[in-house]
Structure 1
Amino acid sequence: MVEKIGRKLSLMFCSLPFVFGFTIIIAAQNVWMLYIGRALTGLASGVTSLVVPLYISEMAHERVRGTLGSCVQLMVVLGIMGVYLAGLFLDWRWLAICSSIPPTLLMVCMCFMPETPRFLLSQGKRREAEEALRFLRGPDAAVEWECARIEDACDDQGSSFQMSDLKDPGVYKPLIIGVMLMVFQQMTGINAIMFYAETIFEQAHFKESDLASVIVGTIQVVFTAVAALIMDKAGRKILLIISGVAMAISTTAFGVYFYLTPPKPSMTLQSGLLLDVQTSAAPEPHLDLAWLALVSMAVFITGFAIGWGPIPWLVMSEIFPAKVRGVASAACVLTNWSMAFIITKNFQDMMGLLTSAGTFWLFASMCALNVAFTIAFIPETKGKTLEQIEDTFRGTAGP
């Protein structure tokens, strides 16, 4: 879609399954209507996961691209917190009604936004690209110079993606990095922890587990906003390293908490499956360690929010050459949501097989691995144009 009809129209069209999906959920009379509604909204979520970072990276100036790109994740966590908060007061039908409003606004507001200059130039529409840049940069900006720079990059690359392009280090290197970023993001266990936050807090003996989920959402919003503010100053790589270290420490501590605090025998997960945890070997706790669970969760969410939450999506939108940007971004998004499905679907089984402590220690080892991967392979993209980043992977970057 993004290569055929453009970034703008793709965003407008993805609003339709969002609206239709929530309408079906609102009108649901049986579980199959709920399934259909969720399938449609899930389809739209997948499209927006790709198109929104792409649109932002192609229209943003390099000085603010990190901040604007981080706002993608900021809006996501605002939505999560909003639903947690609304869930305290509204039933699911009213939640669906509220959730149908943002995609409706998206479809209307995108009518007034331009297509990205890079897509317009790839289609040979120089005049429209200059108009888009004047809209984005201001009437006095040197849009002709920027257009010429983008055109030169497009001319060097050729017209469209071919399988033979995978031999080009400027294509396969960023593709491997983008895919691995998405794998490691999900292997931290973030989606499993967020989806089962209430269950985790119940198992940690917090009586107000639904309120605890709102607190988790609030922490995520605050520190994702902090990440957005410092992204173009601190840089991507250092924030990924700090984030990975914080998550490794917190998941290790969470594992220690569950090892020292056996769950109640009657504790079940939300799906009704009995949590089969081997507790006979765990020692009886001598202290109330509920504070350790709370601190561990807070540190984990804080760490994820400042690095591994927003940055993989930001880097994905920055590192690919223009002619493979749609295909390569699609591969990254597919990897991300596939891993999210696998981890979330198997989280209950992991808790039973490895015990609660073992599951969190597994997540901790993955966080340690992503720190090593970041140090070894992730380039710094702060302050560089998209064309300069492409040259870095090809080994033709200037001083």
Structure 2
Amino acid sequence: MNHEEESRPLLAEEDSEQGEEDRAETDVYLDKVKNGKLYMATFAAVLGPLSFGFVLGYSSPAIPELRQIPDPRLRLTPEEASWFGSVVAIGAGVGGLLGGWVVEKIGRKLSLMFCALPFIFGFTIIIAAQNHWMLYVGRVLTGVASGVTSLVVPLYISETSHERVRGTMGSCVQLMVVMGIMGAYVTGLFLDWRWLAIACSIPPTLMLVCMCFMPETPRYLLSRGKRHEAEEALRFLRGRDTPVEWECARIEAASQYEERSLTQADLKDPGVYKPLGVGIMMMFLQQFTGINAIMFYAETIFEQAHFQNGNVASVIVGVTQVIFTAVAALIMDRAGRKVLLILSGVAMCVSEAAFGVYFMLSTTKHGNSTLLNTILGTQDAVSEAAHPDLSWLALTSMGIFITGFALGWGPIPWLVMSEIFPTKARGLGSAVCVLTNWSCAFIVTKTFQNLMDLITSAGTFWLFSCFCAINVIFTIFFVPETKGKTLEEIQAHFKGPRSR
């Protein structure tokens, strides 16, 4: 055994002792922290995801009305309706790229205030729409705002929170998204599409006002050499009597090597490319569960499933999502990210497989055989009269799917994205992840109806079920557990033992 091999156990023991000392010191500090102002700052920030949720949910009640509206300048064909539902994702992809640049140039706080404007302008154009193009432009603008929001808000929350509450605070992002979706569904029961757009413009207006009174994140201020401002921000977030100088010094010490800008050579650093790979794959797999297709076309799905009162069923789905996303927020820092992701993936896999079975049993074959029918040689399904008897299976499958998504694959990819990147790569890494997410969202939502025509409704949901199974496998082997770890400890995990 050489000298290097003999020294490894000693180094590991020293690292362990140092880690215990650091943890004890951190616990002493966190015991003095007051979280009231942190909750205020988080609430102001998550008004952005609430606005984002209204954008996602808006198309579900609006599309059936716009497809039947008497005015031919505004009436949507099925193809135009698919563009109306999916064009948001194009804007969001652009917003993700724009957000990655803006968040580094003007900071997290100003970026959030900036993204309120396209939300408001987009809904204003929809309210005043006189033709299809005004509807599309309004959706694109709200999509741009959604892309910026989905990048900036998780960063703002992760950089203002401490490790004891970061999981719960981060889960509030998805909680507010689903509350926005449910809000759009419920409001759509009582308002027409123009008044619904007016209601959707209220949350971003509130965010713009509230963020005026919130601080910039301490990490961003320290990265710009503004230590005094960073300490003041920490005093606001942690309480006036908390010794924030200790936390400020810890952040400075951990980020010393990251003071320079990201270069091409850094892409060879495992502390950069490993979290980038994990982030991209999580965003890809999240969208290929089919979640956005289901949210955009919830009423249409229930109509095709021959479920009476599809709009009411959509509201029930929205309520279910809110309840279980709230549950995920409460248990996130106890159960851990990895366990919830695995449970979530299994629940979605089973429920979408069951949804496929429902469509196979209950949908009568019309006209020419679909590709899947031809391959499998299936016979005509049961008669139309059987539909009401099986409608419980559609709603139950949808409920289990939404429950599973809300517990894991809804909130956690956004939370993990905000935790895993080093400071110097946070803007670029988050932008690439958001672009991946919304590009996949566009592909799924735009091709959803085509998939249902090509391989039948049953085949489409079985395809999504297969992706959910892949989610589980990917989580087991590649996603790190970040529960209870500081951002610096998470980054050290990716860099390997030499960095510790």
Matched, 1:234 2:371: no
Post-superposition Cα deviations, 1:216-250, rounded to whole Å, max 9, x if no partner, equal 10000000000000000000000000000000000
Q: How far apart are the structure 1 equivalents of 2:261 and 2:480?
A: 26
Runs in 1 of length 4+ with deviation above 3 angstroms? 263-266, 274-280, 282-287, 396-399
Shift of 1:159: 1.9
Shift of 1:275: 9.2
CA RMSD of aligned residues (A): 1.9
Post-superposition Cα deviations, 1:95-114, rounded to whole Å, max 9, x if no partner, equal 11111111111111111000
Partner of 1:155: 256
Partner of 2:485: 384
Show the 5 A alignment for 1:131-280. 131-263=232-364, 265=366, 278=373
Q: How far apart are the structure 1 equivalents of 2:336 and 2:183?
A: 29
Query: Are 2:364 and 2:381, in contact at CA under 8 Å, matched by a contact in 1?
Result: no
Matched, 1:302 2:399: no
Show the 5 A alignment for 1:105-116. 105-116=206-217
Query: Are 1:203 and 1:264, in contact at CA under 8 Å, matched by a contact in 2?
Result: no
Which amino acid in structure 2 is aligned with residue 281 of structure 1? T
Which amino acid in structure 2 is aligned with residue 317 of structure 1? S
Which amino acid in structure 1 is aligned with residue 332 of structure 2? M
Aligned to 1:112, the other structure's residue is in SS state: coil
Show the 5 A alignment for 1:36-47. 36-47=137-148
Aligned to 2:483, the other structure's residue is in SS state: coil
Q: How far apart are the structure 2 equivalents of 1:33 and 1:191?
A: 23
Show the 5 A alignment for 1:60-99. 60-99=161-200
Q: Which has the larger radius of gyration?
A: 2
Normalising to structure 2: TM-score of the pair?
A: 0.76
Partner of 2:463: 362
Q: Matched residue pairs, number?
A: 392
Q: How far apart are the structure 2 equivalents of 1:261 and 1:397?
A: 59
Q: 1:91 to 1:17 in 2, by over 3 A?
A: same
Query: Are 2:317 and 2:399, in contact at CA under 8 Å, matched by a contact in 1?
Result: yes
Query: Are 2:371 and 2:455, in contact at CA under 8 Å, matched by a contact in 1?
Result: no
Q: How far apart are the structure 2 equivalents of 1:223 and 1:264?
A: 36
Moved more, 388-397 or 359-368: 388-397
Post-superposition Cα deviations, 1:304-339, rounded to whole Å, max 9, x if no partner, equal 000000000000000000111011000000000000
Partner of 2:86: none
Matched, 1:281 2:375: no
Residue from 123, 133, 140 that aligns with 1:32: 133
User: Greater helix percent: which structure?
Assistant: 2
Q: How far apart are the structure 2 equivalents of 1:275 and 1:7?
A: 50
Unaligned runs of 5+ in 1: 267-273
Aligned to 2:103, the other structure's residue is in SS state: coil
Residue from 227, 231, 234 that aligns with 1:126: 227
Which amino acid in structure 2 is aligned with residue 102 of structure 1? P
Partner of 1:56: 157
Query: Are 2:103 and 2:152, in contact at CA under 8 Å, matched by a contact in 1?
Result: yes
Q: 1:150 to 1:116 in 2, by over 3 A?
A: same
Query: Are 1:54 and 1:317, in contact at CA under 8 Å, matched by a contact in 2?
Result: yes
Shift of 1:265: 3.8
Post-superposition Cα deviations, 1:71-101, rounded to whole Å, max 9, x if no partner, equal 0000000000000011111011111111111
Unaligned runs of 5+ in 2: 1-101
Q: How far apart are the structure 1 equivalents of 2:249 and 2:200?
A: 42
Normalising to structure 1: TM-score of the pair?
A: 0.95
Q: How far apart are the structure 2 equivalents of 1:103 and 1:322?
A: 28
Aligned to 2:191, the other structure's residue is in SS state: coil
Percent of matched pairs sharing the same residue: 72
Show the 5 A alignment for 1:306-385. 306-385=407-486
Moved more, 87-96 or 282-291: 282-291
Matched, 1:16 2:113: no
